[in-house]
Structure 1
Amino acid sequence: MSHLSRTLPVKRAAHVYLVRAGELLLVEERMDDGSIFYGLPGGKAYAGETFADAAVRQVKVETGLNVTDLDFVSLLEGELLTGTKNECYAMFSRFTAHFNGDLHPTDPEVVGIKWVPFEQVESLVRYGPPPECEERNPLIWVPTRDFVRGKARTYYPI
């Protein structure tokens, strides 16, 4: 049996669980199909950028908030979206952090920011289609589901 190797692009991203009084801060972004997607503040890390630095930078752009004292919560890692044009090896890191400042997003893709009670977070998640849309892959939301239930694990293999 021959082994065919292939090289997948690596996608590294960092997101932050910002919490106040049983609520989680979510950003509202408009997808290509016009629908609203709710996600954690954060996003893609630049080449050579640490997950923590990416988290601080992305949260500032998406929310206007300054985050400090990041605490690592979990890493989601593995092959994602296999067989689609967006297939990649994903490494998604999640943190909690202290925060200060005013909500003022400067990212043009962010159309709103919302404090959502923990018990309502899962009801905002929309899965599929299209299948190549990473944000709608249920695996991406498993760490967040566990976090709001108080059962976060450190490592989530895809």
Structure 2
Amino acid sequence: MSHLSRTLPVKRAAHVYLVQDGKLLLVEERMDDGSIFYGLPGGKAHPGETLGDAAVRQVLVETGLTVTDLVFLSLLEGELLTGTRNECYANFGRFTATFSGELNPTDPEVVGIRWVPFEEVEMLVRYGPPPEIEERNPLIWVPTRDFVKGQPRAYYPI
């Protein structure tokens, strides 16, 4: 008999598409295996924190930029990394925003920041092992691919 339900930890995160002159701001982070990962600025929400507040906090730490006037763009929702130690139920919000300030990351995991032309964004995406790394799951990048093509959707079931 199969289990009708099971409890998964919930992971909530928010990321922001910051755009300037046809370029998207990406942060460079060093992964545990030493490789460089390019991702959107943003990250995990604290317990009780809204996705919008998490976006503002994380972007400031990762880039030094202050974001205002967040506009909700997309929600990714569903089971992620099933069968790995990081299995979770994901609620990931994507926003656009107005930004100000100077690039000055204070997050020690951020090793660089780049304004990347829209047409080059997908070339920086790395998929593959280790499988428990959510950022390397192709499903996480589908909304960004759609965004740079000018075709974002409001909802992405994972």
Specify the alignment match of 2:79 in structure 1: 79
Counterpart CA distance in 2 for 1:50 and 1:27 is 22
Alpha-carbon separation, structure 1, partners of 2:43 and 2:3: 34
Summarize deviations over 1:96-122 as a string: whole Å, max 9, x none: 000000000000000000000000000
Partner of 1:18: 18
- The answer to whether 1:46 aligns with 2:46 is yes
2:141 match: secondary structure: helix
1:31 corresponding residue in structure 2? 31
In structure 1, C-alpha distance between the alignment counterparts of 2:5 and 2:63, rounded to whole Å: 41
Q: Describe the SS at the equivalent of 1:111.
A: strand
Letter in 2 for 1:100: S
Q: Which whole-Å CA distance do the structure 2 matches of 1:3 and 1:31 have between them? A: 35
Where do 1:129-148 residues align within 5 Å? 129-148=129-148
- The residue number in structure 1 matching 2:92 is 92
2:103 is the alignment partner of 1:107: no
Q: Once the 2 structures are TM-superposed, how far is the Cα of residue 6 of structure 1 from its aligned partner?
A: 1.2
Identity %: 84
Deviation at 1:2, TM superposition (A): 4.6
Distance 2:55 2:131 in 1: 26
Aligned to 1:6: 6
* Shift, 1:5, TM fit: 2.0
Structure 1 unmatched ranges of 5 or more: none
How many residue pairs get aligned? The number is 158
Residues 51-87 of structure 1: CA distance to partner in whole angstroms, max 9, x if unpaired?
Answer: 0000000000000000000000000000000000000
Q: Tell me the TM-score normalised to structure 1 length.
A: 0.98
1:64 aligned partner = 64
Q: Write the distance in 2 (CA, Å) between the matches of 1:81 and 1:52.
A: 24
Distance 1:33 1:73 in 2: 32
What is the distance in 2 between the residues matched to 1:98 and 1:137?
28
Instruction: Give every structure 1 segment of 4 or more consecutive aligned residues whose post-TM-superposition deviation is greater than 4 Å.
Output: none
Supply the AA of the counterpart residue of 1:75: L
Which residue is 1:118 aligned to? 118
Residue identity matched to 1:49: E
Taking structure 2 as the reference length, the TM-score comes to 0.98
Task: Report the AA paired with residue 8 of structure 1.
Answer: L
